[in-house]
Amino acid sequence: MIGPSRIDEEHFRFQVWAPHATEVTLHFEGVDDARRVPLQACPRGYYEAVVGGVKPGNKYRYFLDHSQALRPDPASRYQPLSVHQASQIIDDHFEWTDSEWRGIPLEEYVIYETHVGTFTAQGTFDAVVPELQRLRDLGITALELMPVAQFPGKRNWGYDGVYPFAVQESYGGPMGLKRLVDACHHQDLAVVLDVVYNHLGPEGNYLWDYGPYFTDRYRTPWGAAINFDGPGSQEVRRFFIDNARYWIREFHIDALRLDAVHAIFDFSATHFLEELAGAVRQEANKLRRFCYLFPESDLNDARLIRSPAIGGYGLDAQWSDDFHHAIHALLTGEQTGYYQDFGTLDHLTRALKTGYTYSGDYSVFRKRPHGNSPEHNEATQFIICVQNHDQVGNRMYGDRLSQNIPFDAVKMAAGLCLLSPYLPLIFMGEEYGETAPFQFFVDHSDQELNENIRKGRKNEFAQFCWTKEPPDPLAELTFLQSKIDSSLGEAGHHGVLYRFYQELLRIRKTLPAFVHPSKKRQEIWSDSGNQTVFIRRWHRTDEAYLLFNLNRNSVETKWDRPSGEYQRILCSSDALWSEVALTEISAMHTQTQVFSTGECFSLKPYSFMVWARSGQ
């Protein structure tokens, strides 16, 4: 594998891909300041050497003859000083205690997305560990970490990383991440790591000096595109595939979330993503563990998650924005930016039925048809949410959904997401109605870059007609204001919402109709006049019925299912789920209700009910 790798107690192999250079010399720094080791040239632009007397903590850089520059290792495992300074050898020995861990099946994923720096006051991996029991009690089965690859400064969302193999120093470095993953597995929590294979950040990116990592044939919104299909691309592909293997093998990561794969440009006969999927499957088989790939894409292209046997790339489950956009536009009334493509009940029901709202339909926002059909994809191949880091953090003030809609509507949105057959994602703090914003923040040292970032953010906001002055991304206060306080979820209406989320996840995990998710075993009816959605889900002889009122007023509706006895599992408008509720729930409350076909009953504003019956 590229980078430094241990051979024995005192010997390391150093390998770097540097086809731009004709000579590469390893320079040790600090106590070994005068030590220089020339690397041997190998085929296809690699340089390597086996070096003795190397210990964890040794710092080094490479001297590239063509540029007469000392540069950190592109595959550095640790950058303790900064993105501009020396790389450091790490101690790769760790006492893992998760030898029995095999991961969890895809259908059991309930994902909790978190940003390490703002999830706790300390902002470290170790500080996340005491929170794991709370997440487990909530019903979470997988912790997703926003990118942790080394980025400039101390605060960043992580998408400006420039050392894909190095774990962010301010979070606790590689050992801190290993401790967190090990602790997660002891809580039966899988770990999803967000990785960025479509670009590198603008500061501290020295890959240009080493080889053709980038191409000017394509552009991304964040700068130069990665070279996945031009001259030298085989070694670029290897670099990122090695990276995926590294996280899975060395850090026991269970799944990788692939950032914005629509910005991975590759016209090769075998797409990079298909090659990556094959490599991860090989690694999973070798380790005898579940390992998954979750691409994010705004293309609504089901090829990502189709089998290679039918022309797909073979990835496992795709982030699907359509559900979020549909429920957000419907409940907030926002119609600017990409929300102009949403806002009706039909948009929501299409997302609930198939996973996409747009599957070849004309998009007003894009001014062209958008998407293709996901008809033959399983429900567990789509990850949906009502909030995530993008949909909150890319608002001008980072305001959360709970600040923009009534409490009852927040509960209803949660019900639509968590009781769907798709894999649900909860953004940190959502489960109790966090009041802190999640804003965009960076800590770059280049002042010209900082000004460009400020201007870029304002331009992004313009398409949503947000014209006021946004928070300064460079200000430390912007970062500090984004830190959440999970103790809010212990009392008041925040505590009610937390218990409500907990109850929804308990229903999802205990009722057979929800435990076995399938698009084919659900029926959906909607009434745009009343703004109601009726969903039937089933597994064998077990059935569940859900009725949602998305109207701000009470509505009268009819029971159009067969007459008989039904167990009422949950009613979101019950007093114990109100903002002023005093009663705590300790178990699932059910009661028998008898319905006759055509019988009328009332639903309160922004409320929903769940019934079940078995053996019919």
As a whole number of Å, the end-to-end CA separation of the chain is: 58
- Taking residues 252-257, report their average pLDDT: 98
Average pLDDT over residues 205-211: 96
Q: Does the pLDDT of residue 583 top 70, yes or no?
A: no
Please say if 296 is a catalytic residue.
Answer: yes
8 Å CB contact between 178 and 226: no
Domains contained in the chain, CATH given: 3-88 (2.60.40.10), 110-505 (3.20.20.80), 512-614 (2.60.40.1180)
Structure tokens at 184: 């997660």
* pLDDT confidence of residue 7: 92
Cα separation, 324 vs 305, in Å, equals 19
pLDDT confidence tier of residue 32, bands split at 50, 70 and 90: low
**Amino acid, res. 160:** D
Residues in Cβ contact with 615 at an 8 Å cutoff, skipping those fewer than 6 apart: 541, 542
Look at residue 68 and tell me whether its pLDDT is greater than 80. Answer: yes
Q: Which helix (H) or strand (E) holds 326?
A: helix 321-332
Contact 306, 317 (CB under 8 A): no
pLDDT of residue 496 exceeding 70 = yes
User: What's 308's DSSP letter?
Assistant: G
User: DSSP code of 221?
Assistant: T
Q: Which of 73, 259, 334, 408 is catalytic?
A: 259
Active site residue 8: no
Q: Which residues contact 229 (CB under 8 A, 6 or more apart)?
A: 265, 266, 267, 268, 272
Nearest partner of 424 among 104, 108, 110, judged by Cα? 110
Q: What is the CA 80 to chain-centroid distance, rounded?
A: 26
- pLDDT tens column, 331-344: 999 999 999 999 99
**What does the pLDDT average to over 14-43?**
92
For the whole model, what pTM was predicted?
A: 0.95
pLDDT of 467 reads 63
Q: For the chain, what is the mean pLDDT?
A: 93
3-class SS string, 201-215: CCCCCCHHHHCCCEE
Residue 585 is predicted with a pLDDT of 54
Q: What is the mean pLDDT of residues 401-430?
A: 97
**Percent of the chain beyond pLDDT 70?**
96
Counting residues of the chain whose pLDDT is more than 90, the rounded percentage is: 84
Distance (Å, rounded) from C-alpha 327 to C-alpha 347? 9
> What value does the mean pLDDT take over residues 232-244?
97
The amino acid occupying position 158 is G
Collapsing DSSP to helix, strand or coil, 242 comes out as: helix
Please state, in angstroms and rounded to a whole number, the distance separating the CA atoms of residues 429 and 469. Answer: 25
Judging by beta carbons within 10 Å of its beta carbon (0-12, 13-18, 19+), is residue 329 exposed, middle or buried?
Answer: buried
Question: What's the rounded mean pLDDT across residues 130-158?
Answer: 97
**pLDDT score, position 587:** 46
Set 296, 341, 408, 434: catalytic member: 296
